[in-house]
Amino acid sequence: MAKLATVIWIVLGITFAGAFGTVILATPSLVNEAAELLPWAALAGFVAAVPASIVVARRILAVSGNR
């Protein structure tokens, strides 16, 4: 499961980081601090993707019959 969760984490981390960055850039009051906030958004995206990737990997293994 660890290999599958790692691959999913890479994909979800990039997706979450992009979504968090988009929120920062789309919020007018945060655009002025974007240079400071975007690295934190990327870090938060990758951290938030860890539990999500574990859940997704477990569901994939459950559906596929745990091969």
Confidence of residue 2 (pLDDT cuts 50, 70, 90): confident
Task: Tell me which DSSP letter residue 64 carries.
Answer: T
- How high is the pLDDT of residue 39? 95
60: left (phi over 0), alpha (psi -120 to 50) or beta: alpha
Predicted confidence (pLDDT) per residue in 11-48, tens digit:
999 999 999 999 999 999 998 998 999 999 999 999 99
Please tell me the predicted confidence (pLDDT) of residue 1: 83
Q: What is the pTM of this model?
A: 0.85
Determine contact, residues 41/20, Cβ cutoff 8 Å. yes
Cα–Cα nearest to 23, from 35, 13, 36, 38: 38
Q: What is the pLDDT of residue 67?
A: 62
* The predicted structure's pLDDT at residue 55: 95
Apex 33 CA angle, 28 and 37, nearest 5: 105
- CB-CB neighbours of 11 under 10 Å: 12
